[in-house]
Chains A and B, each alone.
Chain A
Amino acid sequence: MKKFLKSIIFFFLPIFFIAVVAEIFLRKIPNDYRIKQQYFEWHSAEIKVLFLGSSHAYYGINPIYMKESSFNAAYVSQSLEIDYEILNKYKSSLKSLRTIILPVSYFSLNSSMGNNGEGWRNKYYTIYYHLNMGYRPEDNLEILNKFSLNWYKIVNYYFKHISPVSSSSLGWGTHSSQSTKSLEETGREASGRHTGINPILYQENRKILDSIILIAQRKNVRVLLYTPPAYSTYTRHLNVKQLSELRNTMSSLTKNYNNTTYVDFLLDTSFVKADFYDADHLNDKGAKKLTIKLESLIKN
């Protein structure tokens, strides 16, 4: 037994040492989650319009074009349950809040971060946002999720001096590359990835939407739900049943809650090829267009 203990300590010691050092270094790298969390800590009382949602809102809404004090708290792969957790955490400090703008994309009702292969992002919400994401010990450590990405971040930040931060001071996401991706290829790929009806997740997401709206109702805040625009190479592959489920749900929500409105931009032809980064994400130009449209909607 002594020999075994010696061998095991000898074997695992270098791994343990590297893990501790890597964890410390990783936590020192600035990231979008920490920046957004700090914005909430320092400025939540000033926010009048709050944008939540996934990458469709993160890249698609630039609060600089809003007249009222606005903040984009959306992020890549951020699903409805996280939107709810963020709102729930800061609901009492969002003292000036008037409008919550939330994208409900084609996939939103049938997916969650844990089920679409993006569950590793839970760690960021646990470590930096301090959200209660359910107990998973590995969510409390950077190194135990996406080691390859962690390694890439360490090399980029400490050796190449490239920051992983992609959001503006108001939370809008800038694409790492300015060149547009193939709309044909990304349309087919993304629509495939986003298609799938999951009745259990649908029920959960429906309840989450109700909870978000109820929080807003209690604070006398309006909720604007919208389906973001997408290019035809994406929309032509969509499942009709899934799409009608989304529209029926939106219609039922707007009927049930008088503080809630819904706008569907999915097939909005005013968004043209030049507005897209890829088939389902807007570029800077598209983001400006969408933000201005939303601004005019909340004004009315």
Chain B
Amino acid sequence: MLFNSLNFAIFLPIVFALYWCAGKSLKIQNYLLLTSSYFFYACWDFRFLFLLIFSTLLDYYSGLKISGSQNPQTKKFWLWASIGINLGFLGVFKYYNFFAGSFATAAASLGFTVNPHILNIILPVGISFYTFHGLSYIIDIYKERIKPEINFVDYSLFVSFFPLLVAGPIERATHLLPQIKRSRKFNYLKTVDGLRQILWGLFKKVVIADQCAGYANTIFDNPDHYHGSTLILGALFFTFQIYGDFSGYSDIALGTARLFGFELLKNFSFPYFSRDIAEFWRRWHISLSTWFRDYLYIPLGGSKGGIWMKVRNTFIIFLVSGFWHGANWTFIAWGFLNALYIMPSILFKTNRQNLDTVAQGKLLPSLKEFGLMSFTFFLTVIAWIFFRAESIQKAFQYLGGVFSGTFTKPDIFPGLTILLVVFFVLIEWLGREQDYAIANFGFKWPRIFRLAFYYVLIISIFMFMGAKQQFIYFQF
């Protein structure tokens, strides 16, 4: 069930009405949310619901065993059993074919012929996300940061809560479990705010991402057909597609959760207005970046062991982060490129110099800020070419085309889509100090104008609703 489908538009109000009709009974509310979440997941493919339930059971039981044992060996056993099985599933479903294919290619380059067995399986949607939920829970119990959850329904809801089930944000037990256990009351302002965030998320997805996707796909599918100027346009379209798609999804997830009285972790904070790559990574897919920071970078020694350890650990987390996105060398190259980008700020210890919002309290950035933002954006666009390309070779071919010097009039120039992107960037810029762009947008206007603005967004969503591109992060 996609967030931008009529199915979801029917599902959500029904669950919402039943949920608040359940009144003050927290138990009924949690049961209802869990049932709805499993229904939501089963609508995609009910067979993989069993995998989700198994993973939930495994982490629930391992958590109890780790906490209940005094023996360090037993604790370690259950920790590694849970990590091993969870990553094992991820490995089989997501990475097996990649490793088998890469092994065959490597063997062929040495003169051996290997015909690996290729699995004909589909990737269970959300597996990378709920696996990471479970892993953080188990590691936190092992490190004695949290106590295990005794109530199985509450724990299952933490793993499977439908707004975040298929594409995050990657939640932490310390953040979400207390909300699951706390009594929740209907709050008018929060509910309206949730709807507003859903509206903005839908606009980003349907109007921006899906429109850009059509052109990005056409250009990326056959880059040799187009001049350099068109290829630049294609890369820009993909840059806005992936942002609109994933941050739009996150906005819908956060808004939906708010309708039920939950606050999820923020996942995006206007990343394209970053002044350096370190700032970009503090603003892009925040829940994943902080996950890798807390469960990989810091356990590896973080930045404590001198500059070389810092460099090594930075490369490790970026390469793993790239690989997390998909079983393709292009994602690893994307991670590697980002690690290279961030290196100067690591080496010169400038990675924490842009912690505030750009041009805070001002309408326009300074010339220096604008230059820094443009350069960071340029680097990001180059990296997205690797992310989007089907192979490393095709990414270089695309880049070769971009820098071929054939800057004639673009072969494709969709004026309306470009205008929509400009409008979108403008609204994002004006709202960059808020939680999401339209959180307080138009609050000083007469109510009728604000309502008119919302109607314009709704109409534009209806206008562009046909394209229906899959959410990119569903495949991760």
Residues of A at under 8 Å CB distance from B? 1, 3-4, 7, 11, 14-15, 117, 119-120, 136-138, 143-149, 151, 185, 188-189, 191-193, 195-196, 237
- The smallest beta-carbon distance between B259 and chain A, in angstroms, is 10
By the criterion CB–CB under 8 Å, are A4 and B188 in contact?
yes
By the criterion CB–CB under 8 Å, are A144 and B222 in contact?
no
Q: Please, which residues of chain B bring their CB within 8 A of the CB of A1?
A: 20, 186, 188
By the criterion CB–CB under 8 Å, are A148 and B467 in contact?
no
Given contacts A4-B188, A137-B6, whether A192 and B466 have CB atoms under 8 Å apart is no
Q: Which 3 A-B pairs have the closest CB atoms?
A: A120-B466, A192-B222, A192-B225
Q: Please, which residues of chain A bring their CB within 8 A of the CB of B186?
A: 1, 4
Q: Which of B460-476 contact A (CB under 8 A)?
A: 462-468
By the criterion CB–CB under 8 Å, are A189 and B465 in contact?
no
B221 in complex: contacting residue of A146, A148, A195, CB < 8 Å? A195
By the criterion CB–CB under 8 Å, are B225 and A237 in contact?
yes
| Distance of A147 Cα from B211 Cα, bound (Å) | 14
By the criterion CB–CB under 8 Å, are B188 and A195 in contact?
no
| Distance of A120 Cα from B191 Cα, bound (Å) | 32
| Distance of A266 Cα from B462 Cα, bound (Å) | 39
16 extra A-B contacts, CB within 8 A, seeds A1-B186, A144-B462 = A3-B188, A4-B186, A4-B188, A15-B458, A117-B217, A117-B467, A119-B466, A137-B6, A137-B7, A138-B465, A144-B465, A146-B466, A148-B463, A192-B221, A192-B222, A193-B218
| Distance of A117 Cα from B464 Cα, bound (Å) | 12
| Distance of A147 Cα from B188 Cα, bound (Å) | 31
By the criterion CB–CB under 8 Å, are B462 and A4 in contact?
no
B451 contacts partner chain A, Cβ-Cβ < 8 Å: yes
| Distance of A195 Cα from B222 Cα, bound (Å) | 7
| Distance of A14 Cα from B192 Cα, bound (Å) | 18
By the criterion CB–CB under 8 Å, are A196 and B221 in contact?
yes
| Distance of A147 Cα from B206 Cα, bound (Å) | 12
| Distance of A185 Cα from B5 Cα, bound (Å) | 35
By the criterion CB–CB under 8 Å, are B466 and A145 in contact?
yes
B31 contacts partner chain A, Cβ-Cβ < 8 Å: no
Contact with A along B216-240 (1 / 0, CB 8 A): 0110011001100000000000000
A–B Cβ pairs within 8 angstroms, 21 of them: A1-B188, A3-B188, A11-B454, A117-B217, A117-B467, A120-B467, A137-B5, A137-B6, A138-B5, A144-B465, A145-B466, A147-B463, A147-B464, A188-B411, A189-B411, A191-B222, A191-B225, A192-B222, A195-B221, A196-B222, A237-B225
B214 contacts partner chain A, Cβ-Cβ < 8 Å: yes
| Distance of A120 Cα from B20 Cα, bound (Å) | 35
The binding surface of chain A is classed by DSSP as helix
Q: Please, which residues of chain B bring their CB within 8 A of the CB of A146?
A: 465-466
Q: Please, which residues of chain B bring their CB within 8 A of the CB of A185?
A: 411
B10 contacts partner chain A, Cβ-Cβ < 8 Å: yes
The binding surface of chain B is classed by DSSP as helix
Q: Please, which residues of chain B bring their CB within 8 A of the CB of A4?
A: 186, 188, 191-192
| Distance of A223 Cα from B468 Cα, bound (Å) | 34
Q: Please, which residues of chain A bring their CB within 8 A of the CB of B463?
A: 147-148, 151
Q: Please, which residues of chain A bring their CB within 8 A of the CB of B412?
A: 189
| Distance of A149 Cα from B246 Cα, bound (Å) | 27
Q: Please, which residues of chain A bring their CB within 8 A of the CB of B10?
A: 137
Given contacts A117-B214, A137-B7, A188-B411, whether A143 and B462 have CB atoms under 8 Å apart is yes
| Distance of A195 Cα from B1 Cα, bound (Å) | 30
By the criterion CB–CB under 8 Å, are A148 and B464 in contact?
yes
Given contacts A3-B188, A4-B192, whether A138 and B225 have CB atoms under 8 Å apart is no
Q: Please, which residues of chain A bring their CB within 8 A of the CB of B214?
A: 117
| Distance of A14 Cα from B458 Cα, bound (Å) | 12
Given contacts A1-B186, A7-B192, whether A188 and B225 have CB atoms under 8 Å apart is yes
| Distance of A55 Cα from B341 Cα, bound (Å) | 48
By the criterion CB–CB under 8 Å, are A11 and B451 in contact?
yes
| Distance of A7 Cα from B454 Cα, bound (Å) | 14
Q: Please, which residues of chain A bring their CB within 8 A of the CB of B468?
A: 119-120
| Distance of A9 Cα from B214 Cα, bound (Å) | 35
Given contacts A4-B186, A117-B214, A192-B226, whether A144 and B221 have CB atoms under 8 Å apart is no
Q: Please, which residues of chain B bring their CB within 8 A of the CB of A7?
A: 192
Q: Which of B430-476 contact A (CB under 8 A)?
A: 451, 454-455, 458-459, 462-468
